Chains A and B, each alone.
Chain A
Amino acid sequence: MKKLPDLLPLTAPVFHILLALADEERHGYGIMQDVARQTNDALQLGPGTLYGCLKRMLAAGLVEESDERELDDERRRYYRMTALGRSTVRAEAARLAGAVSAAKARLGLAGGK
């Protein structure tokens, strides 16, 4: 399992997939729909990209397959975020917030004024 700093920065798909799994476990299609909602359709994951990311995220221990769920349909597997995934996405959000405030300070884009 990797340490946090190795995982940052996250790619946009990985970041949004983690956010999609922040409040509940979802299957692949549900993840795609939630990511589209989060980004106002700016990021629409295709199946190859989505499952490629999931594969790497499973390997890194950011997500895991949900085993408790009664499988209503064996063609859909559900994924959920691990504790490592949660701390990673928090760390990434903090990193992004830092980057955004630096950008605001330099470019004079300060909120409201």
Chain B
Amino acid sequence: MLGLLCRIYSVMLYAYPREFRLRYGVEMQQFFHDRCRELARAHAGRGAWLRFVLRNLSDWIVSIVRERRALKLVQEWAVTILLFLFVTTSMVQAYVVPTGSMENNILVGDHMLVDKVGFENGGSNWASYVLPHREVKRGDIIAFRYPEDVRQTYVKRVIGLPGDHIRLENKQVIRNGQKLDERYVRHSSPGIDDYRDNFPTAPDLYTLGGGREMFAGHVQDGEVIVPPDTLFVLGDNRDNSLDSRYWGFVPSNYVTGKPLVIYWSYDAPTSDYVEWNFRHVEDVALHFFSKTRWDRTLKTP
């Protein structure tokens, strides 16, 4: 979180006129970094961080306007606008969670920002080449394009990396022969469903295309073996999650990023987030304060 803020700020500095940035940019970055560190050390609450971010944003805008007042060239402004677009589209992305497959860690109606540059993701985003990033680890929560329909974004937890052997035994995940201690998992139904809880058995009615390929080519001795450049993901709401068990592996270049922060959480049913409808707008207008889950604001998933 802290690293990302500093990284975003260092890119935002490019909106200042060149001479100003060359002369003061390093100092300003240091200043910003010091301020972040001070807040972190003081164990600042979410409110304090939000105030900090908003204050810096307004400082950024106001001081850019002031420093650029002398420059009348349209081209100079174009750089600022392009940069703003770059930050909002390439580096972070807003996303609403429509289903409860990650409950209780991510709820239906959580509106979050996804960090699109934190992971190395197969070059689908050029910013990730330029800026520091790390590889996806086991246990990370990731946002990715749903392989069966790339227009949809899904959020799940990474269970298997390439080469990992995965199976489930009575709901217990066993990876490379070791039982995982998964405190984040919630079980919503007590019964055992063989396909779901003693995975992998054999494809059934609910197995989608990618899942059938997985059964056909990547199951050995009752274990799924994750092929190169893909990930095996499961939902935290384990008994009620359409995940790699049903539609197979996620190609690693489908990963769009890492959920960064929940900026607004609103209690409404799945249907309101799947399809736009006027009733939802009305509902938000009437119940904004009572149905917003304030305790989730600015939470990191």
Binding site for B on A (CB under 8 A): 27-29, 32, 44-52, 54-55, 75-77
Contacts and interface: CB of A to CB of B under 8 A. Distances in A.
A48 B28 contact: yes
A54 B35 CA distance: 18
B59 A51 contact: no
Contacts of B23: 55
B30 A29 contact: yes
Interface residues of B, number: 23
Contacts of A28: 27-28, 30-31
B63 interface: yes
A46 B34 CA distance: 12
Nearest to A73: B30
A52 B31 contact: no
A76 B30 contact: yes
Residue in A44, A49, A52 whose Cβ sees the most chain B Cβ within 10 Å: A52
Contacts of A45: 59
Contacts of B63: 46, 48-49, 51-52
A45 B56 CA distance: 9
Given A29-B35, A46-B60, A46-B63, A51 B55 contact: no
Contacts of B16: 48
A88 to B, nearest CB: 20
A48 B30 contact: no
A48 B59 contact: yes
Given A44-B55, A46-B63, A52-B20, 18 more contacts: A28-B27, A29-B31, A29-B34, A29-B35, A45-B59, A46-B55, A46-B60, A47-B28, A47-B32, A48-B59, A48-B60, A48-B63, A51-B27, A51-B63, A52-B67, A55-B23, A75-B26, A77-B27
Interface string B43-85: 0000000000001101110111011000000000000000000
B206 interface: no
A60 B204 CA distance: 78
A51 B24 contact: yes
B60 A55 contact: no
Contact of A49 (B29, B30, B34, B62): B62
A25 to B, nearest CB: 14
Contacts of A50: 31
A51 B66 contact: no
A47 B57 CA distance: 10
* Top-8 shortest CB links A-B: A46-B59, A48-B63, A47-B28, A51-B24, A75-B30, A47-B31, A29-B34, A48-B59
Interface in B108-123: none
Nearest to B16: A48
Nearest to B63: A48
A37 B275 CA distance: 51
Contact of A47 (B58, B59, B66): B59
Residue in B29, B32, B58, B63 whose Cβ sees the most chain A Cβ within 10 Å: B63
A49 B26 CA distance: 15
Contacts of B56: 46-47
Contacts of B27: 27-28, 51, 75-77
Contact of B24 (A27, A55, A76): A55
Contact of A52 (B32, B34, B58, B66): B66
A45 B63 CA distance: 11
Contacts of A75: 26-27, 29-30
B213 to A, nearest CB: 52
